Amino acid sequence: MNKTKETFVFGFALFAGFFGAGNLILPPLLGFNSGADWWLVALGFITSATIIPLLAIFAHARLQGTMFDFGKKVSPLFSLIFCFCMYAITIALPCPRTAAVTHEMAIAPFFDTSALLTSIVYFVLAFIFVMNRNKALSILGKYLTPIIVLIVLAIIVVGVFSAETTMSPSSFELPIISGLLEGYQTYDAMAGMIMGGVVLVSINNSKNKLSFIEKRKMVAKSGLIAMTGLFVIYAGLITIGAFYNGQFDSGISRTNLLSGLATKTLGNVGSTFLSVLVALACFTTAVAIIVSIADFFKTYFKESQKAYLITTIICCLVGILVGQMQVKYIIDVALPALMFIYPLCIVLILLNVIPEKLASKLVFRGVVLTTFIFSIPDFLGFIINSTHLEYVKSVIPLASQNLGWILPALITFLVLNIKTFTTKATSN
């Protein structure tokens, strides 16, 4: 296989990895609530859901290691704790959410069964697939993703050209910020830090013996292909969500809105087909998540099959408990965790992308520590109501928009770099 063809293969595979079907329910409601400001919301959403993940792939192209390498300049202990936190959040939130989406989109509309039953059956099947690593999974992923993409693109194209031009007003005071924070819910920045390593393993296992520079270019181009696809789908779904925001009840749920848009554009058959395929794709995503986490702990405990089994059981049990809940509840519960982990993800990605002379160990440690400290009010703000906390957030710039870490992290970055260059100049 030549390098160009291989790059596209890896790009499509990376796109399939990012294309968690559960994420399709997020952009339409965002556009629905934004009305005429849909393009501002899209700008914010695209920043956190595609641009930052793309930079994560670029960082992998430079590091050519694993997720552990993102934080090793801070310290090996920090990097290990960070990896554990990333996997814990993944087990507890995006993985169970796939079961909840499956129930609301593919089971509840057709069968009068409980969400708990769906969740149990869903994760029992997931356990069987993970333990057997059935080849059917790769076949499902290979054929499902293109079919869903085609259906979603059909919904977008038909929706854009057939929708009414009148839109209800936006419900967002700061559309860009709302879109940016909603992009956290895709978990794509986290996925970028995990999936880039998978692409590198695939490249290293290929027959082509590539140099470091060639692998860097291939990873970067693969990431660009994947993120271009996500950009088109995310932006398109936000657009039609806005264009149809006068045709649905204001309190409509995310899953019902996506199904409703499919019905409006493709008819009842298209909506049903989409629901079933999304459910199957969600299952594929869940199994892939569990396999990747089980593999991590298997490797960490010296290729222990027992560790693989225990990790799989824990993932499935947590999935059953959380997956029976409503999608909206899982998304709301995720906010505190995302306010904690996402700022750290973003700064680690950016520090690993910029020139190395601007990202010394001192800069890494200072910026990461500052980000962590100034993210605490954002994190706590979703857990407790306190007048003291509100006062603290009123003092910190952008904290009222849950972005209080940005300016302190930027100032720390500039001050530490000035100090580093001044010290070097003095010593010379």
Q: Of 319, 280, 294, give the one whose Cα is nearest residue 131.
A: 294
pLDDT of residue 232: 93
Closest CA to 195 of 3, 349, 361: 349
Measure the CA–CA gap between 305 and 169, rounded to whole angstroms.
55
pLDDT of 1 over the 60 cut = no
Question: Tens digits of per-residue pLDDT, 176-217?
Answer: 999 999 999 999 998 888 877 767 766 776 656 777 888 888
Mean pLDDT of 367-373: 96
User: What is the average per-residue pLDDT within 223-248?
Assistant: 92
Residue the block writes with tokens 């396999």? 291
Q: What is the mean pLDDT of residues 289-306?
A: 84
- Domain 3-353 in this protein, CATH class: mainly alpha
Average pLDDT, the chain: 88
* pLDDT of the residue at 137: 54
Q: How confident is the model at residue 307 (pLDDT cuts 50, 70, 90)?
A: very high
pLDDT for the residue numbered 4:
77
| pLDDT (mean) for 317-325 | 96
Residue 423, pLDDT score: 81
The CATH 1.20.1740.10 domain(s) of the chain lie at 3-353
Cα–Cα distance for residue pair 195/57, rounded to 1 Å = 8
Q: What is the pLDDT of residues 108-153, one digit of tens each?
A: 988 889 999 999 999 999 999 888 865 555 565 567 778 888 899 9
Other beta carbons less than 10 A from residue 102's beta carbon: 30
Rounded CA-CA distance 421/211 in Å is 33
| This prediction's pTM | 0.90
CA distance 377 to 381: 6
d(C-alpha 337, C-alpha 334), whole Å: 5
Comparing 96-100, 139-143, 381-385, which segment has the lowest mean pLDDT?
Answer: 139-143
- Residue 396 in this model has a pLDDT that exceeds 80: yes
What is the model's pLDDT at position 97?
94
Q: How confident is the model at residue 158 (pLDDT cuts 50, 70, 90)?
A: very high
- 114 or 218: whose pLDDT is higher? 114
Distance of alpha carbon 49 from alpha carbon 346, whole angstroms: 11
Closest CA to 197 of 82, 86, 87, 67: 67
Q: Are 98 and 285 in contact (CB under 8 A)?
A: yes
Question: Would you say the C-alpha torsion 93, 98, 104, 108 has a positive or negative sign?
Answer: negative
